[in-house]
Amino acid sequence: MAEALGISPATGHRELKLAKAWLKHELKKPATSRP
């Protein structure tokens, strides 16, 4: 997938880890704080 995006595999892995951490954080918020 990283090649299709024109980025290195290491960058792709780093971005995926960041996205997973962000999503986990967002899902822990109370439902009332979501738009």
pLDDT at position 20 is: 98
Local structure of 2: helix, strand or coil: helix
Question: How far apart are the C-alpha atoms of 9 and 1, rounded to whole Å?
Answer: 8
pLDDT at position 32 is: 74
> Which residues contact residue 20 at a Cβ distance below 8 angstroms, ignoring those fewer than 6 apart?
none
pLDDT tens profile 1-35 = 788 989 999 999 999 999 999 999 999 988 775 56
Has this prediction a pTM greater than 0.75?
A: no
pLDDT at position 34 is: 57
